[in-house]
Each structure stands twice: as C-alpha cells, then as structure tokens.
Amino acid sequence: TSSLSDIFDVDLAESAGLKTHGVMVMETVGEVVAGINTIGNLAPKLVTLAVKHAEWNVVSEHFPVVGQALLATLEKGLGLRWTAKVRDAWVAVWGEVVGVMEPALRQAYVDKEEQEKREKVRLLVEESWGVVEQD
C-alpha cells in the first residue's frame, strides 16, 4: 500500500503545499457533508476537481491512499466517537466521491491524450504546408 509520502516524495510534516492541499481537501469534504442528502448535486464540482487533478498527474491509485489518510484523520479527530458505524458511513461517502471523480479523471486523461494528438497533427500539417507554400 502506498502512502502520501510515497506519492508526493516530500517530508509531509514540513510541506506547506501539502498542508494547503489538506485544507482544500477538508473544505471539499465539508461541502460533501453539507450536501450529503443531495450528493448528486456535487457531481459537477467533483468532475471539475477530477479534471484539475489530471493536470497534476493524479492517478486512480491515489484515491485509496487519500481515502486512508482521510479516515485516519477523522479517527484521530473523533477519538472515542470513531465507531465502526461512523467508519462505514465515511467509507460509503468516500466511495461516492471516488465513484464520481475516478471516471472523470480517467476521461480527463483520454481527453488530454486526444488533444495532444490533435496538436501534433496540427503542427505537422502547418509545418508541411509551410514547405509547400515556399516551393
């Protein structure tokens, strides 16, 4: 199993960037909690978030690691109030979040690859046309 240290290759305790990211993750989790009865309404935001994560080279294998970190954070924060039922509830919610974000992340990579291919074709066509125009 990977850890956040493995993914980011930094000293997590000293990483200002990762601390900032942690705050953003918790804000997003807060939005999920606030909209728990209408989680489907959060789908567009989660899809947008997945697309941004593709730009940062996040891969599907990162979701379980982040999920474990979230659960560990909640367990530590809740202390004795962390029960099997609470854990199961959070696992279910995280599963819904991942269920929206992971397919969107995969699609973002497909879209990115297609865009890169189109750009290569465009450059080759422009370059070759420039040669023809010069002759």
Q: Are 108 and 54 in contact (CB under 8 A)?
A: yes
Residue 124's pLDDT band (cuts 50, 70, 90): very high
- Give the number of other CB atoms < 10 A from CB of residue 32: 17
Which range (11-15, 73-77, 99-103) has the least confidence? 11-15
Structure tokens at 41: 């309404």
SS3 label, residue 59: coil
Residue 116's pLDDT band (cuts 50, 70, 90): very high
Alpha-carbon distance of 31 to 70, in angstroms, equals 15
Alpha-carbon distance of 97 to 102, in angstroms, equals 8
Give the per-residue pLDDT at 9: 57
Which range (28-32, 65-69, 80-84, 88-92) has the least confidence? 28-32
Alpha-carbon distance of 89 to 13, in angstroms, equals 28
| Helices 84-134 + 62-78 axis angle, to 10 | 150
pLDDT for 36 beyond 50 = yes
Q: Are 46 and 100 in contact (CB under 8 A)?
A: yes
Q: What is the mean pLDDT of residues 50-64?
A: 92
pTM, to two decimals: 0.72
Residue 1's pLDDT band (cuts 50, 70, 90): very low
